[in-house]
Each structure stands twice: as C-alpha cells, then as structure tokens.
Amino acid sequence: MTDAPARTIEVDLPCVRCRYLLRGVDARGQCPECALPIAESFDPRRLLLADRRWLRRRAIATTLTCLFPVFCFATFVVFVWSEAVAWMINLAAAMAVLLPIVILALAAAATAPDQHAGRQARVGRWIAVGAGAAMVMVCSTAPLWVALSPTLVRGWLVPVVAVFGSLAVIAGTGLVWSDLARRERLRSRARLAEAVVWLALFGASLLGLAWLAGAFGYWPAAEWVARIFGTVLLVGMAAVGLSWLIAGVLAARMLRRMRGEAVDPAALPSTMPGP
C-alpha cells in the first residue's frame, strides 16, 4: 500500500476510551488496548483536539468561578463575626448586586460553545445565562429594598439570594462538568461530578430547610429552633460552596492539562479506507 505511512498516527493522542497512547497505530484500525475503532478517538469535540485559545479562555473562566465560593466564605466570616446590623445589610446589598453579574458573565464564559457545539451545549448555555439573568433581575432591586425596608431585606432578600444562588450553583456545576466529561468520555470524572452536584443539592436543601424553620428571621421561632437551624444553614452553605470550589478547581486543572497536551487535528491522518 503506497499511502500506508500517511495513515499512521504520529502524535501523542490517547484513546478516548482507555487513554492508551495511539502513536504509531494505523488510523484505520482499532485501539490495541480496548479495540475501539480509532475513528472514534478522532472526534472533533474532544478537548484534546480543541482550539488552544478556546481551552485557555475556558480554563480562565472556570478558575474565576472558584473565586466566588472563596469570596462567599470570606463574606460569611465577616457576617458571623460582625454585630453591626447596618454593616450586614450593606454587605448583603453589595453581594446581591455584584455577584449575580459575576455569575452571569462567568456562566456565559464557562459554557461558551466551540465550533463543534451541539444542540445540548447551546441549550445548556441558555439555561446558564437564564439562571444568571434571573439572579440579576431578583437582586438588582436590592438597593431599592434596602431603602424601602431593612426588615424586608432581612426577611426576603437573603433567602431569595441563597435559594437562587444554590440553584445556579447546581445548574452551572452540572453543566460545566457534564460537558467536559462528555467530550473526553470520562466516566469516573462524570461520577465525581455527579457526587459534587448531589453535595450542592444537599446543601441547597439544608438552606431551604433552615429558611422554612426561620433561621433567616422571617418567621418567629423559639431560640433553640433558631440555633439548630442556624447550624443547618451553616452546613448547607458550606456544602454548596465546597462543592462549587472542588468542581471548579478540578475542571480548571483538567482544562489546563488538556491545553498542554492538545493535538492539532490537522496532524491526524485520515481514517477513510484507502484506495
């Protein structure tokens, strides 16, 4: 066969199923390790075959999302230690206005579809942008609410932000991870992503429970009830923040690694049967 050398893989591309390095293997054959047709490892949606600039943009956006839980933890420490109610209200208003805008921008960046994006990626993007927009709409009226009634802010704003924020965390974490895992067929990572989303969901449920029990001060509750659900609230917030942080750090690390190991699709031989 005269064109045989041109069909041999001459780059370090791992098999999409078993990660076996396919250098030196005939592109028309199967993976020597798991027998998957080589053509499947040439899927243009793979992160390893993606545009390096797109991978870089996505790694930066994903890293930036990690700043959100860090900022939340820092704010919460101030919130817990500060006795001044006015300071707490200003802080809540600043967070309520700024953070949804940050979430909106990051959600749009982190789910930015590449040139091969399918319908699912596009739908995912609109869900992420929609969740961010809903948060902006709910929270951008915060200064008005503060001016109207500090009691109303303490009663409604914080729980609304907490519930919407938690839902955005769950939707965003799930979308970003399922997209990354699907592109590289990472089953173990997909399971980890699932665990992280369940942790976030658990946290959000605890937040909701604490809200119902009056931990935010909306409904009057006995002191011991408020104390128990205040603890529930702390655990719930920690679970949501921690799950976001773990997922963000792992996803950013994976994107940086993929960028380092990226393969130029033009360097791959054809998988079409020869003449």
Residues making contact with Zn ion (CB under 5 A): 15, 17-18, 20, 31, 33-34, 36
| Cβ distance to Zn ion smaller for residue 11 or 225 | 11
Do the Cβ atoms of 128 and 172 come closer than 8 Å?
yes
Tell me the closest approach of the beta carbon of residue 42 to Zn ion, in angstroms: 13
Identify which of residues 75 and 271 has a Cβ nearer to Zn ion in the complex. Answer: 271
Task: Concatenate the DSSP letters of all residues of 78-120 into one string.
Answer: HHHH---HHHHHHHHHHHHHHHHHHHHHHHHHHT---TT--HH
What b/e readout covers 95-119, taking b as 16+ CB neighbours within 10 angstroms? bbeebbebbbebbbbbbeebeeeee
Between residues 17 and 57, which has the closer beta carbon with respect to Zn ion?
Answer: 17
Query: Minimum distance between the CB of residue 265 and Zn ion, rounded to whole angstroms?
Result: 19
Least spacing, CB of residue 43 vs Zn ion, in Å: 13
Rounded distance between C-alpha atoms, residue 150 and residue 212, angstroms: 20
Rounded least distance, CB 258 to Zn ion, Å? 18
CB contact at 8 A, 207 and 181: no
| Closer residue to Zn ion (CB): 17 or 257 | 17
Q: Which is nearer to Zn ion, 15 or 247 (CB)?
A: 15
Query: Which of 44, 32, 212, 14 lies closest to 117 in space, CA to CA?
Result: 44
In degrees and rounded to multiples of 5, residue 117 shows phi and psi of -55, 130
CB of 48 to Zn ion, least distance (A): 14
